[in-house]
Protein backbone atom coordinates (compact mmCIF):
# COMPACT_ATOMS: atom_id res chain seq x y z
CA UNK A 1 0.00 0.00 0.00
CA UNK A 2 2.87 2.35 0.92
CA UNK A 3 4.49 1.42 -2.39
CA UNK A 4 1.35 2.52 -4.24
CA UNK A 5 1.12 5.72 -2.21
CA UNK A 6 4.67 6.65 -3.20
CA UNK A 7 4.42 5.61 -6.82
CA UNK A 8 0.87 6.49 -7.88
CA UNK A 9 2.05 9.37 -10.08
CA UNK A 10 4.31 7.04 -12.08
CA UNK A 11 1.39 4.70 -12.74
CA UNK A 12 -0.70 7.74 -13.67
CA UNK A 13 1.95 8.78 -16.19
CA UNK A 14 2.04 5.31 -17.77
CA UNK A 15 -1.77 5.16 -17.93
CA UNK A 16 -1.94 8.62 -19.50
CA UNK A 17 0.60 7.62 -22.16
CA UNK A 18 -1.27 4.36 -22.85
CA UNK A 19 -4.40 6.46 -23.37
CA UNK A 20 -2.43 8.81 -25.62
CA UNK A 21 -1.16 5.91 -27.77
CA UNK A 22 -4.65 4.44 -28.15
CA UNK A 23 -6.54 7.75 -28.44
CA UNK A 24 -3.87 9.40 -30.54
CA UNK A 25 -3.93 6.69 -33.17
CA UNK A 26 -7.58 5.64 -33.11
CA UNK A 27 -9.64 8.76 -32.33
CA UNK A 28 -10.84 11.01 -35.10
CA UNK A 29 -8.45 13.80 -36.11
CA UNK A 30 -9.03 16.85 -38.33
CA UNK A 31 -8.09 16.44 -41.98
CA UNK A 32 -5.74 19.23 -43.00
CA UNK A 33 -4.17 19.55 -46.44
CA UNK A 34 -0.56 18.26 -46.69
CA UNK A 35 -0.41 17.31 -43.01
CA UNK A 36 -3.34 14.86 -43.08
CA UNK A 37 -3.01 11.92 -40.68
CA UNK A 38 0.50 12.94 -39.62
CA UNK A 39 -1.16 15.58 -37.41
CA UNK A 40 -1.37 12.78 -34.81
CA UNK A 41 2.37 13.15 -34.28
CA UNK A 42 1.57 16.33 -32.33
CA UNK A 43 0.79 14.12 -29.28
CA UNK A 44 4.31 12.72 -29.36
CA UNK A 45 6.54 15.40 -30.91
CA UNK A 46 5.08 18.38 -29.01
CA UNK A 47 4.65 16.34 -25.82
CA UNK A 48 8.33 15.42 -25.79
CA UNK A 49 9.38 18.96 -26.60
CA UNK A 50 7.24 20.43 -23.78
CA UNK A 51 8.70 17.87 -21.36
CA UNK A 52 12.19 18.92 -22.41
CA UNK A 53 11.36 22.57 -21.73
CA UNK A 54 9.89 21.63 -18.35
CA UNK A 55 12.89 19.58 -17.29
CA UNK A 56 15.37 22.21 -18.54
CA UNK A 57 13.45 24.80 -16.54
CA UNK A 58 13.85 22.56 -13.49
CA UNK A 59 17.59 22.35 -14.27
CA UNK A 60 17.68 26.16 -14.18
CA UNK A 61 15.94 26.16 -10.78
CA UNK A 62 18.46 23.61 -9.41
CA UNK A 63 21.39 25.64 -10.75
CA UNK A 64 20.03 28.82 -9.18
CA UNK A 65 19.54 26.95 -5.93
CA UNK A 66 23.13 25.72 -6.13
CA UNK A 67 24.37 29.27 -6.62
CA UNK A 68 22.33 30.35 -3.59
CA UNK A 69 23.19 27.57 -1.09
CA UNK A 70 26.22 25.76 -2.69
CA UNK A 71 24.82 22.31 -1.97
CA UNK A 72 26.47 19.64 -4.19
CA UNK A 73 23.12 17.78 -4.48
CA UNK A 74 21.62 20.72 -6.35
CA UNK A 75 24.46 20.62 -8.86
CA UNK A 76 23.93 16.88 -9.39
CA UNK A 77 20.19 17.49 -9.79
CA UNK A 78 20.87 20.16 -12.43
CA UNK A 79 23.23 17.79 -14.26
CA UNK A 80 20.66 14.96 -14.22
CA UNK A 81 17.92 17.33 -15.39
CA UNK A 82 20.06 18.58 -18.30
CA UNK A 83 20.84 14.98 -19.31
CA UNK A 84 17.13 14.09 -19.22
CA UNK A 85 16.35 17.26 -21.17
CA UNK A 86 18.88 16.25 -23.82
CA UNK A 87 17.25 12.81 -24.14
CA UNK A 88 13.81 14.36 -24.61
CA UNK A 89 15.19 17.03 -26.93
CA UNK A 90 16.77 14.36 -29.13
CA UNK A 91 13.50 12.42 -29.16
CA UNK A 92 11.63 15.63 -30.02
CA UNK A 93 14.03 16.39 -32.87
CA UNK A 94 13.80 12.83 -34.14
CA UNK A 95 9.99 12.71 -34.13
CA UNK A 96 9.98 16.12 -35.81
CA UNK A 97 12.34 14.87 -38.51
CA UNK A 98 10.15 11.84 -39.22
CA UNK A 99 7.14 14.17 -39.40
CA UNK A 100 8.91 16.54 -41.79
CA UNK A 101 9.99 13.64 -43.98
CA UNK A 102 6.42 12.43 -44.31
CA UNK A 103 4.88 15.81 -45.06
CA UNK A 104 7.58 17.82 -46.84
CA UNK A 105 9.68 14.97 -48.12
CA UNK A 106 12.83 16.02 -46.33
CA UNK A 107 14.21 15.23 -42.89
CA UNK A 108 15.49 18.74 -42.38
CA UNK A 109 14.08 21.90 -43.93
CA UNK A 110 15.47 25.38 -43.59
CA UNK A 111 13.07 26.51 -40.90
CA UNK A 112 14.02 29.05 -38.21
CA UNK A 113 12.56 26.90 -35.43
CA UNK A 114 14.41 23.76 -36.56
CA UNK A 115 17.75 25.52 -36.79
CA UNK A 116 17.08 27.30 -33.50
CA UNK A 117 16.31 23.98 -31.82
CA UNK A 118 19.50 22.43 -33.18
CA UNK A 119 21.65 25.34 -31.97
CA UNK A 120 19.82 25.27 -28.63
CA UNK A 121 20.62 21.59 -28.21
CA UNK A 122 24.27 22.32 -28.99
CA UNK A 123 24.22 24.95 -26.23
CA UNK A 124 23.27 22.23 -23.76
CA UNK A 125 25.79 19.79 -25.20
CA UNK A 126 28.39 22.47 -24.50
CA UNK A 127 27.24 22.33 -20.85
CA UNK A 128 28.32 18.69 -20.76
CA UNK A 129 31.64 19.54 -22.44
CA UNK A 130 32.23 22.33 -19.94
CA UNK A 131 31.67 19.95 -17.04
CA UNK A 132 34.05 17.44 -18.54
CA UNK A 133 36.81 19.99 -18.98
CA UNK A 134 37.11 21.13 -15.34
CA UNK A 135 38.71 18.80 -12.78
CA UNK A 136 38.12 20.64 -9.54
CA UNK A 137 34.67 19.59 -8.25
CA UNK A 138 33.66 22.92 -6.69
CA UNK A 139 34.87 24.96 -9.62
CA UNK A 140 33.11 22.60 -12.01
CA UNK A 141 29.80 22.91 -10.13
CA UNK A 142 29.96 26.72 -9.96
CA UNK A 143 30.94 27.17 -13.59
CA UNK A 144 28.30 24.69 -14.73
CA UNK A 145 25.58 26.40 -12.68
CA UNK A 146 26.40 29.83 -14.11
CA UNK A 147 26.61 28.42 -17.62
CA UNK A 148 23.28 26.62 -17.17
CA UNK A 149 21.52 29.92 -16.43
CA UNK A 150 23.06 31.38 -19.57
CA UNK A 151 22.19 28.26 -21.62
CA UNK A 152 18.54 28.37 -20.59
CA UNK A 153 18.16 32.00 -21.63
CA UNK A 154 19.99 31.34 -24.89
CA UNK A 155 17.92 28.25 -25.62
CA UNK A 156 14.66 30.16 -25.22
CA UNK A 157 15.93 32.94 -27.43
CA UNK A 158 16.71 30.33 -30.10
CA UNK A 159 13.45 28.41 -29.95
CA UNK A 160 10.90 31.02 -28.85
CA UNK A 161 12.07 34.50 -29.77
CA UNK A 162 14.16 34.28 -32.94
CA UNK A 163 11.68 32.02 -34.85
CA UNK A 164 8.95 34.58 -34.13
CA UNK A 165 10.99 37.33 -35.67
CA UNK A 166 11.26 35.28 -38.85
CA UNK A 167 8.66 35.94 -41.52
CA UNK A 168 7.84 32.37 -42.38
CA UNK A 169 7.91 29.11 -40.46
CA UNK A 170 6.35 25.67 -40.77
CA UNK A 171 5.80 25.73 -37.04
CA UNK A 172 2.80 27.49 -35.53
CA UNK A 173 3.07 30.26 -32.95
CA UNK A 174 4.63 33.17 -34.82
CA UNK A 175 2.04 35.45 -33.18
CA UNK A 176 1.25 33.80 -29.86
CA UNK A 177 1.61 30.67 -27.79
CA UNK A 178 1.17 27.72 -30.12
CA UNK A 179 -1.26 24.94 -29.24
CA UNK A 180 -2.32 26.52 -25.98
CA UNK A 181 -4.55 29.35 -27.26
CA UNK A 182 -8.23 28.50 -27.64
CA UNK A 183 -8.40 28.73 -31.41
CA UNK A 184 -5.18 26.87 -32.16
CA UNK A 185 -6.11 23.25 -31.59
CA UNK A 186 -9.12 21.33 -32.81
CA UNK A 187 -11.36 20.38 -29.84
CA UNK A 188 -11.20 16.74 -30.96
CA UNK A 189 -7.45 16.79 -30.47
CA UNK A 190 -7.48 18.56 -27.14
CA UNK A 191 -8.80 15.55 -25.26
CA UNK A 192 -5.65 13.64 -26.21
CA UNK A 193 -3.20 16.54 -26.43
CA UNK A 194 -3.47 17.74 -22.82
CA UNK A 195 -3.15 14.23 -21.30
CA UNK A 196 -0.18 13.73 -23.65
CA UNK A 197 1.60 16.81 -22.27
CA UNK A 198 0.95 15.66 -18.68
CA UNK A 199 1.98 12.06 -19.42
CA UNK A 200 5.25 13.00 -21.11
CA UNK A 201 6.11 15.48 -18.33
CA UNK A 202 5.54 12.82 -15.66
CA UNK A 203 7.73 10.44 -17.64
CA UNK A 204 10.49 13.09 -17.90
CA UNK A 205 10.36 13.75 -14.16
CA UNK A 206 10.51 10.02 -13.42
CA UNK A 207 13.53 9.51 -15.70
CA UNK A 208 15.20 12.54 -14.13
CA UNK A 209 14.75 11.08 -10.63
CA UNK A 210 16.27 7.74 -11.67
CA UNK A 211 19.16 9.55 -13.34
CA UNK A 212 19.73 11.62 -10.22
CA UNK A 213 19.72 8.60 -7.91
CA UNK A 214 22.24 6.81 -10.14
CA UNK A 215 24.49 9.90 -10.19
CA UNK A 216 24.26 10.25 -6.39
CA UNK A 217 25.03 6.57 -5.90
CA UNK A 218 28.04 6.77 -8.20
CA UNK A 219 29.34 9.81 -6.31
CA UNK A 220 28.89 8.04 -2.98
CA UNK A 221 30.83 5.02 -4.22
CA UNK A 222 33.61 7.20 -5.60
CA UNK A 223 33.96 9.00 -2.26
CA UNK A 224 34.04 5.67 -0.45
CA UNK A 225 36.80 4.35 -2.72
CA UNK A 226 38.79 7.57 -2.50
CA UNK A 227 38.92 7.30 1.29
CA UNK A 228 40.20 3.73 1.13
CA UNK B 1 -9.11 8.98 -42.37
CA UNK B 2 -7.54 5.93 -40.85
CA UNK B 3 -10.24 3.38 -40.17
CA UNK B 4 -9.67 2.01 -36.71
CA UNK B 5 -9.23 -1.36 -38.30
CA UNK B 6 -7.09 -4.30 -37.40
CA UNK B 7 -3.78 -2.87 -38.61
CA UNK B 8 -4.04 0.23 -36.44
CA UNK B 9 -5.00 -1.85 -33.43
CA UNK B 10 -1.88 -3.97 -33.92
CA UNK B 11 0.22 -0.77 -33.95
CA UNK B 12 -1.49 0.43 -30.75
CA UNK B 13 -0.88 -2.93 -29.05
CA UNK B 14 2.80 -3.03 -30.08
CA UNK B 15 3.43 0.57 -28.93
CA UNK B 16 1.60 -0.07 -25.65
CA UNK B 17 3.69 -3.18 -25.03
CA UNK B 18 6.89 -1.19 -25.65
CA UNK B 19 5.74 1.49 -23.19
CA UNK B 20 4.75 -1.07 -20.56
CA UNK B 21 8.14 -2.75 -21.06
CA UNK B 22 10.02 0.52 -20.54
CA UNK B 23 7.90 1.37 -17.47
CA UNK B 24 8.46 -2.10 -15.95
CA UNK B 25 12.19 -1.71 -16.51
CA UNK B 26 12.10 1.65 -14.73
CA UNK B 27 10.21 0.16 -11.76
CA UNK B 28 12.75 -2.69 -11.64
CA UNK B 29 15.61 -0.20 -11.84
CA UNK B 30 14.18 1.78 -8.92
CA UNK B 31 13.97 -1.35 -6.80
CA UNK B 32 17.58 -2.20 -7.61
CA UNK B 33 18.60 1.40 -6.84
CA UNK B 34 16.86 1.31 -3.46
CA UNK B 35 18.78 -1.85 -2.61
CA UNK B 36 22.10 -0.31 -3.75
CA UNK B 37 21.42 2.88 -1.77
CA UNK B 38 20.83 0.82 1.36
CA UNK B 39 24.06 -1.08 0.76
CA UNK B 40 26.01 2.16 0.29
CA UNK B 41 24.58 3.62 3.49
CA UNK B 42 25.66 0.48 5.34
CA UNK B 43 29.18 0.70 3.91
CA UNK B 44 29.40 4.39 4.82
CA UNK B 45 28.30 3.80 8.40
CA UNK B 46 30.74 0.89 8.73
CA UNK B 47 33.50 3.17 7.54
CA UNK B 48 32.58 5.86 10.04
CA UNK B 49 32.56 3.28 12.83
CA UNK B 50 36.02 2.02 11.78
CA UNK B 51 37.40 5.51 11.49
CA UNK B 52 35.26 7.90 13.56
CA UNK B 53 37.54 10.92 13.13
CA UNK B 54 37.54 10.54 9.36
CA UNK B 55 41.35 10.64 9.16
- What per-residue confidence (pLDDT) applies to A219? 92
Give ∠ CA B41-B47-B52 in degrees, rounded to 5: 120
Q: How close does chain B come to A227, measured CA to CA in Å?
A: 9
DSSP character string of A92-131: HHHHHHHHHHHHHS-S----HHHHHHHHHHHHHHHHHHHH
Report pTM. Answer: 0.89
- What per-residue confidence (pLDDT) applies to B54? 57
Give ∠ CA A75-A80-A81 in degrees, rounded to 5: 95
Count the neighbouring beta carbons within 10 Å of the beta carbon of residue B19: 17
Are A55 and A90 in contact by the 8 Å Cβ rule? The answer is no
- Average pLDDT taken over every residue of chain B: 87
pLDDT at B2 over 60: no
- What per-residue confidence (pLDDT) applies to A204? 97
**A17: which chain B residues are within 8 Å (Cβ-Cβ)?**
19
- What per-residue confidence (pLDDT) applies to A33? 76
Q: Report CA-CA distances (Å) from A20 to A23, A166, A205.
A: 5, 33, 18
Contacts of residue A28, Cβ cutoff 8 Å, sequence gap at least 6: A188, B1
Regions of chain A short of the pLDDT cut 50: none
Which of A120, A68, A101, A227 has the alpha carbon at shortest distance from A170?
A101
* B:1-55 residues touching chain A, CB 8 A cutoff: 1-2, 4, 8-9, 11-12, 15-16, 19-20, 23, 26-27, 29-30, 33, 36-37, 40, 43-44, 47
Task: Answer with the residue of higher pLDDT: B51 or A66.
Answer: A66
Q: What share of chain B is helix, strand, coil (3-state, %, to 5)?
A: 80, 0, 20
Q: In angstroms, rounded to a whole number, what is the distance separating the alpha carbons of residues A205 and A113?
A: 25
Are A203 and A17 in contact by the 8 Å Cβ rule? The answer is yes
* Total length of chain A: 228
- What per-residue confidence (pLDDT) applies to A43? 94
Are A76 and A226 in contact by the 8 Å Cβ rule? The answer is no
Amino acid sequence: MTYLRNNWWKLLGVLLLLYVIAGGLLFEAPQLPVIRETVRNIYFHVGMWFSMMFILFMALIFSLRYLRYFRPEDDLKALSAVKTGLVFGTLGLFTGMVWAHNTWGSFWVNDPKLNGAAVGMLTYLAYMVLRGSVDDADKKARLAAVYNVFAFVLFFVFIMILPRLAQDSIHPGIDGNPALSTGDLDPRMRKVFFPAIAGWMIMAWWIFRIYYRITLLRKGLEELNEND
Amino acid sequence: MIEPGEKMIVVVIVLSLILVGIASFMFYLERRLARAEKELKKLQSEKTRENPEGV
